[in-house]
Structure 1
Amino acid sequence: MPAYLVIPFVSLGLVVCWSSGYIGTQMAADAGGDPFALFGWRFLFAALLCLALVAIVGRRPVWSPRAIGHELVAGSLNVGVYLLAVVWAIQLGVSPAVTALVTALQPLMATLAMSLLRGERIAPLGWAGSVLAAAGVVVCAAGEMRDVGGAPAWAYLLPVVSAVTLTVGSLWSERAPRTLGSVERLLWQLAAAAVVFAVAVLVRTGELPAWPARDVQAWQAIVFLVVLSSLGGYGFFNASLRLRGVTYTSLMFYLTPPTTALWAALQFGDRVGPSGWAGAVLVAAGVVLALRALNRKSTIPPRCRRPASA
């Protein structure tokens, strides 16, 4: 693939595959059963598939304990805790629209973190674009909000936990050692997520996750989640972090709510109302503005500190 097509391809793949996670979750919910157990099997199957790919390639992997430990932490945060909080919130009665609204504000957290923790100064155009995109997400979700008070008060903290862990995990993943290949990194991240969900099932039920039901609908959801959402979503996520960093990758997440809404309309017949279309336009405009700021290299590097005197 020509070099100038790599970043657009990775960005498109990230938006589509990340959006597929919400579609796959709906498919899993329609199939019935314990979503925690299903997600645990999803990540285990995806990790085994990565292990098979490593074996097929035949290249002897360089598995240093430091690199593996780094990816296990990344997988626990970016995949395990992030999705566990989302699934748990929805199961407790938090509206999916409210959950999507809070978690989709993660790019603002990432931009703020890059500014405060790493001293990067984001240009006004970048802030304006990010805020406009966030407003678009609010408009998208506002039209779908129903029964906002139907869950315990503490359950509304779970989407916040999800957004925070993804931000922290993104910053952590960006500094990953370069000793592991893309598939090897994904292998350990997905394995960590499988453990997180297995522990969650064990704590809730006192038993390990049961084998998925012998139902075509359930296995369709698992295959969908393994291929598109796990391998595709987190594969493109890791690639985007390496190619463009945290700020750019987080901006792509703004595009997932309108993409998911359109996908759900095509697959499930869900209706996209006026607020959904208006929000999608705001999101697109905001992302374009923020990307223009990034492409102009308007992010000012941190000031050089005065060296300590001898």
Structure 2
Amino acid sequence: MLARLAPAIFVLLWSTGWVVAKYAAFFADPLTFLALRYSFAILLFIGFCAATGARWPSSLTVVGHAVVSGIFLHGLYLGAVWWAIGEGVPAAISGIIAGLQPLMTAAVAPFLIGENLSGRQKLGLVLGFLGITLAVLPKMLAIDAAATPIHLLPVAINVLGMAAVTYGTLYQKRHLQNGDIRAIATLQYVGALIVTIPLALIVEDLRVTWNLQLVAALAWSVLGLSMGAIALLLYLIRRGQVSRAASLIYLVPPLAAVQAALFFGEALTLPMIVGTIIAVLGVYLTNRKADNPSPTGDRAAKATVA
């Protein structure tokens, strides 16, 4: 039963990251909250590694690669997304922008790791960017009756976060092909903490309002996302079902939009709905496996845990 449900549960957990980001912003500055999340995640992961007999890297080079990949995969990526949401980017819009990650990966892979694009993949890239533009532009220009205008800078930072996770994905593919993923994940959160603390000190007041709601958001972020999603990912990798989970990741933008509508009343406008459908189609075409299995799906699933 778990084998059948695990991919869907993994994606459902991951999709809640945008809603948690918006909810947590009521009680703490985004980067400050993430610093707390990473700190607790590191402690729990160390205990998890000790309890399960994880093998730590014996080479400082591998340790360095894991830390650097964590800076991009978690620190800069989540930092940009959470900061943008804290600055007013709707969780639904941010979730849709997240669909750029597989598209960006496919677009830059030919230049960084020599993976060529087929005609279908190029069509997928075009459709993906058109869909994202259609979904986001009305909000930025406030030309939709239900739209609340948002500023360009937070949207641009959100997109830069997608660029960071894209680079981190390819960096991990190049430098971290081997090693115990439990230990690698722990070191990646160390990298995330290293970059998040200075950024929080620079751009935030380190605001934290300790209450039950904040504790609940922190507990879900650490246990449900940083720990639960990772545990499911490890389970899927062991059973060889990562590609199945990766295919469901294309449902994350609409899932995030629906959750934002339910919990925060964010409007699901027609451009957002149509743009999301086009973007999901583009991502599917870009990442659909060819006759020979491709590692693209595995990369997406490994790299984008919220």
Does TM-score exceed 0.5, indicating one fold? yes
What's 1:48 paired with?
Answer: 43
CA deviation map 1:114-134 (0-9, x unaligned): 122333221111222343244
What's 2:109 paired with?
Answer: 114
8 A contact 2:73–2:164 mirrored in 1: yes
8 A contact 2:135–2:273 mirrored in 1: yes
| Offset, 1:241 | 9.8
Q: Which moved more, 1:14-23 or 1:142-151?
A: 142-151
What's 1:261 paired with?
Answer: 257
Residue 285, structure 1, aligned to residue 281, structure 2: yes
| Offset, 1:48 | 1.0
Tell me the distance in 1 between the aligned counterparts of 2:293 and 2:47.
Answer: 43
What's 1:183 paired with?
Answer: 182
Structure 2 regions of 5+ residues with no counterpart? 295-306
Residue 78, structure 1, aligned to residue 73, structure 2: yes
Alpha carbons of structure 1 residues 241 and 273: separation in structure 2 relative to 1, 3 Å? farther
Alpha carbons of structure 1 residues 113 and 244: separation in structure 2 relative to 1, 3 Å? farther
8 A contact 1:94–1:148 mirrored in 2: no
8 A contact 1:72–1:188 mirrored in 2: yes
| Offset, 1:18 | 3.0
Residue 141, structure 1, aligned to residue 136, structure 2: yes
Find the structure with the greater CA-based Rg: 1
| Offset, 1:187 | 0.7
8 A contact 2:133–2:275 mirrored in 1: yes
8 A contact 1:54–1:183 mirrored in 2: yes
Q: Which amino acid in structure 1 is aligned with residue 166 of structure 2?
A: T
Two-structure CA RMSD over aligned residues (Å): 3.8
Alpha carbons of structure 1 residues 286 and 21: separation in structure 2 relative to 1, 3 Å? same
Q: Which amino acid in structure 1 is aligned with residue 25 of structure 2?
A: A
Instruction: Give the TM-score normalised by the residue count of structure 2.
Output: 0.75
Query: The residue matched to 2:25 in structure 1 has which SS?
Result: helix
CA deviation map 1:164-219 (0-9, x unaligned): 2111111011134455322211111112212222222233468xx57x54311001
Residue 124, structure 1, aligned to residue 119, structure 2: yes
Q: How does 1:147-162 map onto structure 2 within 5 Å? A: 151=151, 157-162=156-161
Query: The residue matched to 1:180 in structure 2 has which SS?
Result: coil
8 A contact 1:85–1:158 mirrored in 2: yes
Q: Which amino acid in structure 2 is aligned with residue 194 of structure 1?
A: L
Q: Which amino acid in structure 2 is aligned with residue 17 of structure 1?
A: L
| Offset, 1:67 | 1.7
8 A contact 2:38–2:192 mirrored in 1: yes
Alpha carbons of structure 1 residues 213 and 85: separation in structure 2 relative to 1, 3 Å? same
Q: Which amino acid in structure 2 is aligned with residue 52 of structure 1?
A: G
Aligned with 1:214 (options 193, 210, 225): 210
| Offset, 1:54 | 1.1
Alpha carbons of structure 1 residues 268 and 291: separation in structure 2 relative to 1, 3 Å? same
CA deviation map 1:13-55 (0-9, x unaligned): 554333221011012023x232221110011111111111112
| Offset, 1:113 | 1.0
What's 2:271 paired with?
Answer: 275
Q: Which amino acid in structure 2 is aligned with residue 75 of structure 1?
A: G
8 A contact 1:107–1:130 mirrored in 2: no
Tell me the distance in 1 between the aligned counterparts of 2:248 and 2:169.
Answer: 13
Residue 105, structure 1, aligned to residue 97, structure 2: no
Q: How many residues align?
A: 287
CA deviation map 1:259-296 (0-9, x unaligned): 2012223444544333343334334433443344x233
Structure 1 regions of 5+ residues with no counterpart? 300-310
What's 1:306 paired with?
Answer: none
